[in-house]
Amino acid sequence: MATESIPTVYTPQFPSWRHRLARLTPWLGVVPFFLFALAFLLGPASYLLVGSLRDLQGNFTLDNYRNLNQPLVKGAYILSIQISAITALGGGLFGFLLAYAVTIGGLPRFVRSGLLTFSGVASNFAGVPLAFAFIATLGRIGLLTTWLKLIGLDIYDRGFTLYSFAGLSLTYMYFQFPLMVLIITPALEGLKREWREAAENLGASSWQYWWYVALPVLLPSILGTMILLFANAFGAHATAFALTGGTYNLVTILIGAQMRGDVLRDPGLGYALAMGMVLIMTVSITGYTLLQRRAERWLKR
Amino acid sequence: MKFKWAWVWIILGIVYFFLPLVATINFSLKAERGRYSFRAYQIVLQDPQFISSFTLSIQIALLTIVFSLLLIVPTVYWAHLRLPQVRPILEFIAFLPFVLPAVVLVFGLIRIYSGPPFALFNRAWGTNLIMVGAYMALALPYMYRSVDTGLRAIDVRTLTEAAQSLGASWPVILWRVIFPNLRTALLSGAFLTFAIVIGEYTIAAFLGRFTFGPYLALLVRNRAYEPAALSILSFAITWSIMGLIQWLTYRAPGSTQVAAGPR
CATH code of the region B46-248: 1.10.3720.10
Condensed to tens digits (0 to 9), the pLDDT of residues A240-256 reads: 999 988 888 999 999 99
Q: What is the nearest CA distance from A12 to chain B, expressed in angstroms?
A: 24
In order along its 263 residues, chain B shows pLDDT tens digits of: 557 788 999 999 999 999 999 999 999 998 888 889 999 999 999 999 999 999 999 999 999 999 999 999 999 999 999 999 999 999 999 999 999 999 999 999 999 998 777 778 888 888 999 999 999 999 999 999 999 999 998 999 999 999 999 999 999 999 999 999 898 889 989 999 999 999 899 999 999 999 999 999 999 988 889 999 999 999 999 889 988 888 887 655 444 555 566 77
* A92 to A139, A168, A192, A199, A252: CA distances (angstroms): 25, 17, 22, 27, 22
Q: Do B231 and A129 touch (CB under 8 A)?
A: yes
CB pairs under 8 A between A and B: 259
Domain definitions of chain B by residue range: 46-248
Q: For residues B227 and B214, what is the distance between their CA atoms, to the nearest angstrom?
A: 12
Q: What is the nearest CA distance from B166 to chain A, expressed in angstroms?
A: 22
* A145 to A91, A132, A141, A154: CA distances (angstroms): 22, 15, 6, 7
Mutate to test the interface with A, among B57, B87, B100, B232 (most CBs of A within 10 A): B100
Give the predicted TM-score (pTM) of the model: 0.89
> Of B96, B216, B255, which is closest to A41 when you measure between CB atoms?
B96
pLDDT, residue A159, reads 86
By the CB < 8 Å criterion, does A47 face chain B?
yes
Query: Of B240, B235, B243, nearest to B27 (Cα)?
Result: B235
Domain definitions of chain A by residue range: 63-299
Condensed to tens digits (0 to 9), the pLDDT of residues A68-105 reads: 999 999 999 999 999 999 999 999 999 999 999 998 88
Tell me the chain B residues in contact with residue A37 when contact means C-beta distances shorter than 8 Å.
Answer: 93, 96
pLDDT, residue A1, reads 47
Q: Do A259 and B238 touch (CB under 8 A)?
A: no
SS3 content of chain B, % helix, strand, coil (to 5): 80, 0, 20
Mutate to test the interface with B, among A234, A237, A277, A292 (most CBs of B within 10 A): A237
For residue A6, give every residue at least 6 positions away whose Cβ sits within 8 Å of its Cβ, in sequence order, or none.
none
Q: Is A5 a residue whose pLDDT tops 80?
A: no
Contact (CB, 8 A) for A273 and A64: no
Q: Do B93 and A115 touch (CB under 8 A)?
A: no
By the CB < 8 Å criterion, does B13 face chain A?
yes
By the CB < 8 Å criterion, does A114 face chain B?
no
Tell me the chain A residues in contact with residue B246 when contact means C-beta distances shorter than 8 Å.
Answer: 117, 120
Q: For residues A233 and A220, what is the distance between their CA atoms, to the nearest angstrom?
A: 20
pLDDT, residue A91, reads 96
pLDDT, residue B242, reads 87
Condensed to tens digits (0 to 9), the pLDDT of residues A112-132 reads: 988 988 898 888 888 899 999
CATH fold of A63-299, please? MetI-like fold (1.10.3720)
Q: Is A141 a residue whose pLDDT tops 80?
A: yes
By the CB < 8 Å criterion, does A21 face chain B?
no
Q: What is the nearest CA distance from B160 to chain A, expressed in angstroms?
A: 15
Tell me what the mean pLDDT of segment A219-229 comes to. 94
Q: What is the nearest CA distance from B44 to chain A, expressed in angstroms?
A: 15
pLDDT, residue A263, reads 83
By the CB < 8 Å criterion, does A15 face chain B?
no
Q: Is A11 a residue whose pLDDT tops 80?
A: no
Q: Do B20 and A134 touch (CB under 8 A)?
A: yes
By the CB < 8 Å criterion, does A147 face chain B?
no
